Amino acid sequence: MPIFRNFTILTLALDGSVSDAKAKLIFAVEAPERWKLRMPGLRAPVDYKEEPLRHPSLRINSLEPFNAEPQRLDLVSSYITPADFFYKRNHGPIPLVHDIGRYSVTITGLVDGSKDLTMSDIWKLPKHTVTCTLQCAGNRRTAMSKIKKVRGVGWDVAALGNAVWAGAKLADVLELVGVPMCSHVTPNGGRHVEFVSVDKCKEENGGPYKASIPLSQATLPDADVLLAYEMNGETLNRDHGYPLRVIVPGVIGARSVKWLDQINITVEECQGFFMQRDYKMFPPTVDWDNIIWSTRRPQMDYPVQSAICSLEDITMIKPGMMKIKGYALSGGGRGIERVDVSVDGGKTWFEASRYQKPGIPYVAGDENSDKWAWVLFEAEAKILNDTDIVAKAVDEGANVQPENVDEIWNLRGILNTSWHRVHVQIGRSNL
């Protein structure tokens, strides 16, 4: 295992002055008698003085660390979410690349020999693109907290985004260390692939964020797991994992680790905080005084979900025809079979239109549809009185959103997939 040490180093400037700086030196054991010293190309700041610029319209839910989501209407203004409006989920200061030429990812663990991959090595692998929606497990947490207090970032309905990711398939990368495609176990007994970031998380006592997925998923080409270096045709920005991040389609966003530092092949799933003491689904009867974390598996898949984004929770409108817009998605690559909308609080329903790419009809499960991506929906109705407008989605597995949030309340406020309700009042429009 690598051993980390902090050293104070002296640097000599061109004008002859001397300054000191903290640098992380990594000693990697290649054999008992050999040590390799390398300077990392990626570092994690210890404070928030070097944060990137963000779009001023974002709803900031936490400043340090920075967690924010777009306005509802901005979210559904296009099928592909611009990087500026893609939700920001962080657990510490944003890492910095000071020398991309020195940056590398170490693959180690239960494989035949460790391997360091530079960005040049990864760029040489076949490049794949995947259109994929990432959704924070805590999306719509604020509505759940109105039933009973929960812990976590207070997300509205926009803690998700849909992007075109590009990079190397993880299955191709693992073949470089002798792990065949479609493997369930390595010859040395490895069954899980752990991703370790370089950031610093208070939940990990200052250590890095980490998560894992089963080896069977990591080595399955059709699972489309990527080591991504591009987002929407451009190099990843810092907020979204520059220079390299993991994209795991169809599961909660917590497993798509950013600022990748190590890939470890292990016997057991990751034992980090965010796999073992967070992001687990407990029943409403469990609270902080009786929770036993080991009784639940880490959450991976997410249920069918939808939300109305053209209206706030309470909106003043003029009487007449109104367009109702939003998004719907489901985990595991399941398409959206139907989005139902009600303008009388759920008494009667009609079906909304669904779409992804312009000019191509959306059909759930069709080869021309993006299986890992959301759909946007639109409906039109005449609103003459104060009322509740409701949306619910059904995926191609016939899974439907639960009606009430209290049925799925959990102490961490994750996976609020209940019917989404907004209230409109007739009066002076604020749209």
Task: Please give the C-alpha separations between residue 271 and each of 185, 287, 294, in angstroms, as whole numbers.
Answer: 18, 22, 11
Q: Give percent of the chain with pLDDT exceeding 90.
A: 87
Given a contact cutoff of 8 angstroms between Cβ atoms, the answer to whether 328 and 352 are in contact is no
Q: Which is more confidently placed, 159 or 39?
A: 159
| Mean pLDDT along residues 375-398 | 98
Closest CA to 169 of 242, 131, 222, 112: 222
pLDDT digit string, tens, across residues 62-119? 999 999 999 999 999 999 999 999 999 999 999 999 999 999 999 999 998 899 999 9
- Name, in order, each residue with C-beta under 8 angstroms of 18's C-beta and a sequence gap of 6 or more: 10, 11, 12
Helices (H), 56-164: 72-75, 119-124, 141-145
Q: What pLDDT, on a 0 to 100 scale, did the predictor assign at position 237?
A: 97
Q: What pLDDT, on a 0 to 100 scale, did the predictor assign at position 428?
A: 72
Task: Please give the C-alpha separations between residue 253 and each of 134, 290, 299, 356, in angstroms, as whole numbers.
Answer: 5, 27, 10, 21
| Mean pLDDT along residues 28-32 | 32
Give how far the C-alpha of residue 205 lies from the chain's centroid of Cα atoms, to the nearest Å.
22
Question: Does pLDDT of 187 surpass 70?
Answer: yes
Q: What pLDDT, on a 0 to 100 scale, did the predictor assign at position 41?
A: 85
Q: pLDDT category, 430, cuts 50, 70, 90?
A: low
| Mean pLDDT along residues 144-151 | 95
Q: What pLDDT, on a 0 to 100 scale, did the predictor assign at position 431?
A: 62
Give how far the C-alpha of residue 18 lies from the chain's centroid of Cα atoms, to the nearest Å.
42
383 beta partners:
320
| Mean pLDDT along residues 373-401 | 98
Give me the chain's average pLDDT, please.
91
Q: Give percent of the chain with pLDDT exceeding 70.
A: 90
Sheet architecture: strand order including 305-308? 305-308, 320-329, 375-383, 353-355
Q: Is 230 exposed, middle or buried (0-12, 13-18, 19+ CB in 10 A)?
A: middle
Q: pLDDT category, 307, cuts 50, 70, 90?
A: very high
Dist. CA 70–CA 139, nearest whole Å: 12
In degrees, to the nearest 5, what angle opens at C-alpha 336 toward C-alphas 335 and 342? 170
Q: pLDDT category, 429, cuts 50, 70, 90?
A: low
Tokens of 127: 């490049």
In degrees, to the nearest 5, what angle opens at C-alpha 140 toward C-alphas 136 and 145? 120
In degrees, to the nearest 5, what angle opens at C-alpha 128 toward C-alphas 126 and 133? 155
Question: Does pLDDT of 40 surpass 70?
Answer: no
Question: Does pLDDT of 353 surpass 80?
Answer: yes
Task: Please give the C-alpha separations between residue 236 and each of 86, 89, 165, 166, 246, in angstroms, as whole numbers.
Answer: 12, 15, 9, 10, 12
Using DSSP's 3-state secondary structure scheme, residue 160 falls into strand
Closest CA to 181 of 213, 214, 216: 216
Q: Cβ–Cβ contacts within 10 Å for residue 125, how many?
A: 16
Q: What pLDDT, on a 0 to 100 scale, did the predictor assign at position 21?
A: 34
pTM of the model: 0.90
Q: Cβ–Cβ contacts within 10 Å for residue 322, how many?
A: 19
Q: pLDDT category, 247, cuts 50, 70, 90?
A: very high
User: What's the half-sphere exposure (Cβ side, CA atoms, 13 Å) at 310?
Assistant: 17
